[in-house]
Amino acid sequence: EVQLVQSGAEVKKPGESLKISCKGSGYSFTTYWIGWVRQMPGKGLEWMGIIYPGDSDTRYSPSFQGQVTFSADKSVSTAYLQWSSLKASDTAMYFCAKLDFDSGGMISGVDSWGQGSLVTVSS
Amino acid sequence: QSALTQPASVSGSPGQSITISCTGTSSDVGGYNYVSWYQQHPGKAPKVLIYEVNNRPSGVSNRFSGSKSGNTASLTISGLQTEDEADYYCSSYTTSINFIFGGGTKLTVL
């Protein structure tokens, strides 16, 4: 069974750094892209970007380029999302998601979601 | 890169059918057959309902169906049930090997 287990809720102050995690199991972690999705309080889903754990190839959505960093550690089947200096506007639920391929090998969409990690940034 | 356009809300009575539209451009919805639909109940992670325009994962009711015409994709829910009350999001593959969501649609079952 495919599972994505995310790290727990975090409460941070503005300016602090943070790294949250998403551990994959039940599939070949290095051969499927992982996506990150933000959901601000009471708002919709936003694609932040995707990372390929096999070689750490990353693609950031324009709104998030330079604001966050994706990484992955193949040895522990875990993807990470990190901030170097948090802002109050980073307060949100963050989901990781496993992306699937179609029969032709093209990335086709999400087939599994993590449970979400709530990040609260407040002074 | 703007979000895909969905109606903010739709409603229907139990047993009825509703359709939610999702309009993009030729760079996303119109250019690829990689439209997905997700259901999200309050406080929960999204759930995949439809992938690759009109495919259902195993375990998803056949009351949910998807289609696409040009730059607009659609999700139809037939035989509405009270548990279908939730937020629904479309998503499409887009250029530069990335994805984009719609703004979301709140479904109310009256």
Q: Express each pLDDT in B77-103 by its tens digit.
A: 999 999 999 999 999 998 876 899 999
Phi-psi region of B97 (alpha: psi -120 to 50; beta: other; left: phi over 0): left
Q: Is A3 on the interface with B (CB under 8 A)?
A: no
Tell me whether residues A44 and B34 touch, CB distance under 8 A. Answer: no
User: What is the pLDDT of chain B when averaged over all its residues?
Assistant: 95
pLDDT in the model for residue B100: 93
Nearest to A45 among B34, B46, B48 (CB): B46
Structure tokens given for A13: 């102050």
Q: Residues A99-123: what's their mean pLDDT?
A: 92
- Report whether A39 contacts A92 (CB < 8 A): yes
pLDDT in the model for residue B2: 77
Q: How many C-beta neighbours within 10 Å does residue B89 have?
A: 26
pLDDT in the model for residue B1: 65
Set of chain B residues whose Cβ sits within 8 Å of the Cβ of A63: 1
Pairing type for strands A117-121 and A10-12 reads parallel
Q: Residues A73-97: what's their mean pLDDT?
A: 97
Q: Residues B35-63: what's their mean pLDDT?
A: 96
Taking the CA of residue B60 and the nearest CA in chain A, the distance in Å comes to: 12
Residue A114 has pLDDT above 90, yes or no: yes
What whole-number distance in Å separates Cα of residue A113 and Cα of residue B15?
29
pLDDT in the model for residue A108: 86
Set of chain B residues whose Cβ sits within 8 Å of the Cβ of A116: 45
Set of chain B residues whose Cβ sits within 8 Å of the Cβ of A113: 45-48
